[in-house]
């Protein structure tokens, strides 16, 4: 039962509850070690249009495919890939600075491009694309773990406002 309480049924990734628990745990660990912790949020570009055009079953297949890509590209045992909600995913990357996180984000985007999931209703590509926003911080007393989520969300918003299909990691 505990596994079901922390796993997203569709994608088999960690769910939001597990993400929040893991973020707090890693925050405390990185605080002790004084090492950076990165939170990255990923959003499927034009996913509503994808669902409307191809149907919800195809939308579910697309979500599963992206979950697979994220798991492939974030394969170390310390990191956590989760479904954050709807078409949004979150990744926790302990001991990862913003430059390393940017490389991971680029690998994710490259791998998704190789998958070539058709999306003729996207305004940025003929294929399904992701926008990614992230932030990397060494924990300190003026910052709470949830601040990383809100800062990553702002970076994701800027990536989407900047034309989508890109990563912004600070």
Higher pLDDT: 112 or 76? It is: 112
The string of pLDDT tens digits covering residues 59-111 is 999 999 999 999 999 988 899 999 999 999 999 999 999 999 999 999 999 99
Count of Cβ atoms closer than 10 Å to residue 41 Cβ = 24
Is the pLDDT score of 2 beyond 90? Answer: no
For the chain, where are the alpha helices, taking DSSP H only?
2-6, 16-33, 47-54, 56-73, 98-115, 145-161
Is the pLDDT score of 3 beyond 80? Answer: no
Residue 167 falls inside a structural domain: no
Over residues 129-153, the mean pLDDT reads 96
CATH number, domain of 141, equals 3.30.70.270
Residue 99 falls inside a structural domain: yes
Is the pLDDT score of 153 beyond 60? Answer: yes
The string of pLDDT tens digits covering residues 53-73 is 999 999 999 999 999 999 999
The pLDDT value given to residue 76: 86
Q: What's the token pair of residue 54?
A: 């191809």
Residue 87 falls inside a structural domain: yes
Q: How many domains does the structure of the chain reveal?
A: 1
The pLDDT value given to residue 12: 96
Determine the Cα–Cα distance for residues 106 and 69; give it in Å rounded to an integer.
Answer: 12
Residue 130 falls inside a structural domain: yes
Please answer whether residues 30 and 97 qualify as being in contact, where contact means their C-beta atoms are separated by less than 8 angstroms.
Answer: no
Residue 169 falls inside a structural domain: no
Q: To the nearest whole number, what is the mean pLDDT of the chain?
A: 96
Over residues 23-37, the mean pLDDT reads 97
The domain containing residue 54 runs over which residues?
2-160
Q: What's the token pair of residue 105?
A: 């984000």
Residue 63 falls inside a structural domain: yes
């Amino acid at each position: 039962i505990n596994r079901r309480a922390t796993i997203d049924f569709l994608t088999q990734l960690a769910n939001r509850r597990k993400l929040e628990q893991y973020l707090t745990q890693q925050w405390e660990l990185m605080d002790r070690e004084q090492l950076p912790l990165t939170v990255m949020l990923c959003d499927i570009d034009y996913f509503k249009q994808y669902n409307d055009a191809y149907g919800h079953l195809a939308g579910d297949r697309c979500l599963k495919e992206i979950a697979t890509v994220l798991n492939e590209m974030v394969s170390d045992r310390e990191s956590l890939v989760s479904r954050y909600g709807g078409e949004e995913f979150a990744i926790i990357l302990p001991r990862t600075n913003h430059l390393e996180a940017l490389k991971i984000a680029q690998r994710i985007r490259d791998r998704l491009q190789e998958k070539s999931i058709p999306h003729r209703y996207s305004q940025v590509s003929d294929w399904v694309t992701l926008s990614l926003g992230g932030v990397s911080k060494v924990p300190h007393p003026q910052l709470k773990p949830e601040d990383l989520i809100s800062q990553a969300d702002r970076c994701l918003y800027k990536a989407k406002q900047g034309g989508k299909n890109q990563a912004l990691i600070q």
